[in-house]
């Protein structure tokens, strides 16, 4: 992967190796009716350590994509017999967004307006045949890197940096999907709002950085208690957390929440602050809404009201 006349060959070698190592589990789909062209591209992609899939038609492309939704990039030949490539791109984009799967269109003949039409339909890039091995590799790497960068940005956009939990934005994007699904399937879903008791006091007594440690500690216990993949857990406010969790029996869920409340009550967070040993205890209050009612918004409001009842009761308690 060396461009002739590259000023720093070593740098390029290192780049090519690191890139290839990252590529190891990355899946690429080559769509081309010509066996020779597929073999040619496959050889290069294999050398770059990609996992390569092959399709000869649009139908095959869509089949392979639904069986392997983690395919990251499609190298799509423009001229496929009896195929409208623009339509095919639209069909792919109905299921996968531009940041979920990349599409690089490859073509030997370029008609006027063809490239903008393809790009508008949802292709990420275009490559004209015949191409050099180097250009092919650079374009592949560029698109893959762009997708990686978007993934990384998305990861941070949806997370709270302090606790590593999902944030409010994530919660309000995902919660409606869970709520609607539960409503449609008539399955049980609980909305739980949790708030740390007298958190302001912790900040006032020990300082803000200790407050941060308490939040981190609480998040750790929360993650340990609610680890099902289907559970939605988020830090929706400063010291407030909202959960959407599926359950089978009401009694079992409430028993489990009570166990969690008690676990936090009994937990001692040991910290070293300016060579002083601190032992911090804190408690939480919860509001639990089990009815799916009219809307997700309403369900959260009801859970919130119940949280305030728990606070009125004297905190360190659950209301459902």
Tell me if 126 sits within 8 A of 119, measured CB to CB.
yes
DSSP state of 10: H
Minimum separation from the CB atom of position 221 to Mg ion (A):
16
> Which residues have CB under 8 Å from 286's CB, separation 6+?
192, 193, 194, 195, 257, 261, 306, 307, 310, 317, 318, 319
Residue 102 has which token pair? 């990349």
Dmax (CA) for the chain in angstroms is 76
Our CB check for ligand GH3 shows the closer of 103 and 194 to be: 194
- Residue 213's binding partner, choosing from Mg ion, ligand GH3, none, with beta-carbon cut-off 5 to 8 A by kind? none
Which burial class, exposed, middle or buried, applies to 99 when counting CB atoms under 10 A from its CB (0-12, 13-18, 19+)? middle
Catalytic residues: 239
Q: Could you count the other beta carbons within 10 Å of the beta carbon of residue 320?
A: 17
Do 299 and 183 meet the contact criterion of CB atoms below 8 Å apart? no
Count of residues engaged in binding Mg ion, rule: CB under 5 A: 8
Site map 194..223 versus Mg ion, x via CB under 5 A: -xx--x------------------------
Q: How far is the CB of 65 from Mg ion (least distance, A)?
A: 19
The distance of closest approach from Cβ of residue 108 to Mg ion in the complex, given in angstroms and rounded to an integer, is 8
158 belongs to the binding site for Mg ion (CB under 5 A): no
Q: Which does 217 bind (CB under 5 to 8 A by kind): Mg ion, ligand GH3, none?
A: none
77 is a contact residue toward Mg ion (CB under 5 A): yes
Nearest approach, Cβ of 280 to ligand GH3 (angstroms)? 12
Kindly list the residues in this chain that would bind ligand GH3 in the complex (CB under 6 A): 162, 195-200, 203, 208, 211-212, 215, 238-239, 311, 315
Name the residues that contact Mg ion, by CB under 5 A: 33, 77, 79, 195-196, 199, 239-240
């Amino acid at each position: 992967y060396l461009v002739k006349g590259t000023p720093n060959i070593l740098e390029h070698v290192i780049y090519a190796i690191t890139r290839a190592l990252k590529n190891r589990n990355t899946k690429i789909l080559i769509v081309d009716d010509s066996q020779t062209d597929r073999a040619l591209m496959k050889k290069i992609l294999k050398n770059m350590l990609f996992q390569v899939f092959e399709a000869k038609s649009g139908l095959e492309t869509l089949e392979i994509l639904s069986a392997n939704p983690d395919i990251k990039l499609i190298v799509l030949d423009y001229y496929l017999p009896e195929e409208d490539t623009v339509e095919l791109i639209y069909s792919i984009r109905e299921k996968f967004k531009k940041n979920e799967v990349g599409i690089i269109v490859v073509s030997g003949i370029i008609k006027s307006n063809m490239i903008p039409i393809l790009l508008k339909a949802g292709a990420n890039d275009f490559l004209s045949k015949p191409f050099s091995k180097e250009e092919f590799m650079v374009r592949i790497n560029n698109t893959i890197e762009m997708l990686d960068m978007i993934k990384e940005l998305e990861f941070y956009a949806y997370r709270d940096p302090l606790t590593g939990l999902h944030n409010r934005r994530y919660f309000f994007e995902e919660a409606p999907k869970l709520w609607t699904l539960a409503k449609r399937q008539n399955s049980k879903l609980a909305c739980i709002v949790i708030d740390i008791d007298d958190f302001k006091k912790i900040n006032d007594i020990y300082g803000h950085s200790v407050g941060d440690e308490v939040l981190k500690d609480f998040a750790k216990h929360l993650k340990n208690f609610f680890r099902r993949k289907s559970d939605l857990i988020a830090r929706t406010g400063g010291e407030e957390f909202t959960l959407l969790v599926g359950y089978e029996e009401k009694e079992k869920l409430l028993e489990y929440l009570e166990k969690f409340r008690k676990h936090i009550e009994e937990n001692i967070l040991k910290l070293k602050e300016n060579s002083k040993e601190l032992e911090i205890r804190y408690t939480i209050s919860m509001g639990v809404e089990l009815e799916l009612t009219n809307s997700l918004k309403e369900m959260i409001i009801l859970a919130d009201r119940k949280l305030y009842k728990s606070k009125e009761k004297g905190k360190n308690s659950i209301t459902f």
